[in-house]
C-alpha cells in the first residue's frame, strides 16, 4: 500500500487499484489535497493493461466519504474564491468520469456532499445495507451544487428525485438507492461489499477495454452537450450571510437560522 497523501491511500491487488479515503475520524471528509490526489490517479491511470479497474472505498467502517472539509471554506472572502472552488471540484469530477479505466464506488455508510458527487461520477456503484446517500446542504451549509453536478445526478436518478433530495435534505437509503438505479447491488455489510467489489472489478476488467472506454466517453459527451453558465448562482450562495452562518453553525454543532440573504 502506498500513500499519495496520508488521507488517501492506494493499493494494487492483482490488476485492480484500490483507492481508499482515509480520514475515518472525520467520516472521510475531503480535503483539497484528497480531491487533487484522486484526480491525479484518474488522469494518470495506465492503459497498458497493468491495471484494469479502480475501486473507491472509505476507511473506518462508517462512511464512504462525507462532503468537503468545511474548515476550508473559512478562507473564502470573494466571489472568485467560490467560483474557483466549484471549478476545482468540477475538474476533479471530470477526471473521475473521464478516467480511461472502469471505476467502481463501493459505498459503505454515509456518502454525502463531495463524496456523493464522486460516487455519482464513477461508472458503477454498489453499496452495503448501511448506505446513506445525499446532499443535505439546504439544512447544513446553504451553498449549492454546480449545474454540471446536478446534471450528472439527474442523469442517474432523474431530475425530480434530485430536486426532492436537495429540497428536503434527506439521505437516500440502501433500498431506495437500488430501486432507482443509483447502485446496482446492495450487500449485507462492509465485508460482503468489498468481496463483491473485487469480484466486479475482476469481471469488468476482463472486458474489452476500448469498448468500455468508448461507451463511457460517448455517454459523457451526450450528457455535456449542453452547458450553462451558473456563476451567478454560485456567487449568490457562497457569498451570502446564510452560507457563513451555516458553516459556523455546522462546525459549532448548532442549528442555523436562515435569512435568505
Nearest to 10 by CA among 59, 47, 48, 69: 59
Check whether domain 2-192 has CATH 3.90.226.10, yes or no? yes
Contacts of 164 (CB under 8 A, 6+ apart): none
- In this model, does residue 79 exceed pLDDT 60? yes
Question: What confidence tens digit (pLDDT) does each residue in 83-103 have?
Answer: 999 999 999 999 999 999 999
Burial class (CB in 10 A: 0-12, 13-18, 19+), 225: exposed
How much of the chain exceeds pLDDT 90, in percent?
Answer: 90
- In this model, does residue 59 exceed pLDDT 60? yes
What are the two backbone dihedrals, phi and then psi, of residue 218, each rounded to the nearest 5 degrees? -65, -40
- Give 53-76 as a 3 state SS string: EEEEEECCCCEEECCECHHHHHHC
- In this model, does residue 76 exceed pLDDT 90? no
Alpha carbon distance 94, 99 (integer Å): 8
Instruction: Give the pLDDT mean for 147-167.
Output: 95
Question: What confidence tens digit (pLDDT) does each residue in 100-127 have?
Answer: 999 999 999 999 999 999 999 999 999 9
pLDDT band per the 50, 70, 90 thresholds, residue 73: confident
The pTM assigned to this predicted structure is 0.95
Alpha carbon distance 112, 29 (integer Å): 9
From the centroid of its chain, how far is CA 46? 22
Alpha carbon distance 201, 53 (integer Å): 6
Nearest to 15 by CA among 206, 215, 196, 210: 206
Amino acid at each position: 500500500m502506498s500513500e499519495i497523501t496520508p488521507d488517501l491511500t492506494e493499493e494494487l491487488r492483482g490488476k485492480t487499484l484500490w483507492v481508499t479515503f482515509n480520514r475515518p475520524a472525520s467520516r472521510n471528509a475531503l480535503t483539497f489535497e484528497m480531491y487533487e490526489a484522486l484526480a491525479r490517479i484518474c488522469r494518470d491511470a495506465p492503459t497498458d493493461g497493468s491495471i484494469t479497474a479502480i475501486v473507491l472505498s472509505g476507511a473506518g467502517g462508517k462512511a464512504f466519504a462525507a462532503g468537503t472539509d468545511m474548515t476550508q471554506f473559512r478562507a473564502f472572502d470573494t466571489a472568485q474564491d467560490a467560483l474557483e472552488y466549484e471549478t476545482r471540484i468540477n475538474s476533479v469530477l471530470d477526471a473521475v468520469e473521464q478516467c480511461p479505466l472502469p471505476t467502481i464506488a463501493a459505498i459503505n455508510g454515509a456518502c454525502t456532499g463531495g463524496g456523493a458527487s464522486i460516487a455519482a461520477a464513477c461508472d458503477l456503484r454498489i453499496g452495503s445495507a448501511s448506505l446513506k446517500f445525499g446532499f443535505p446542504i439546504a439544512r447544513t451549509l446553504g451553498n449549492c451544487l454546480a449545474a454540471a453536478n446536478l446534471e450528472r445526478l439527474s442523469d442517474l436518478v432523474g431530475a425530480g428525485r434530485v430536486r426532492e433530495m436537495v429540497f428536503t435534505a434527506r439521505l437516500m437509503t440502501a433500498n431506495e438507492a437500488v430501486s432507482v438505479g443509483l447502485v446496482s447491488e446492495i450487500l449485507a455489510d462492509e465485508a460482503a461489499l468489498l468481496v463483491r467489489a473485487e469480484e466486479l472489478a475482476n469481471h469488468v476488467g476482463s472486458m474489452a477495454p476500448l469498448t468500455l472506454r468508448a461507451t463511457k466517453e460517448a455517454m459523457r459527451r451526450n450528457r455535456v452537450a449542453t452547458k450553462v453558465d451558473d456563476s451567478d448562482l454560485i456567487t449568490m450562495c457562497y457569498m451570502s450571510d446564510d452560507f457563513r452562518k451555516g458553516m459556523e453553525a455546522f462546525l459549532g454543532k448548532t442549528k442555523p437560522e436562515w435569512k435568505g440573504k
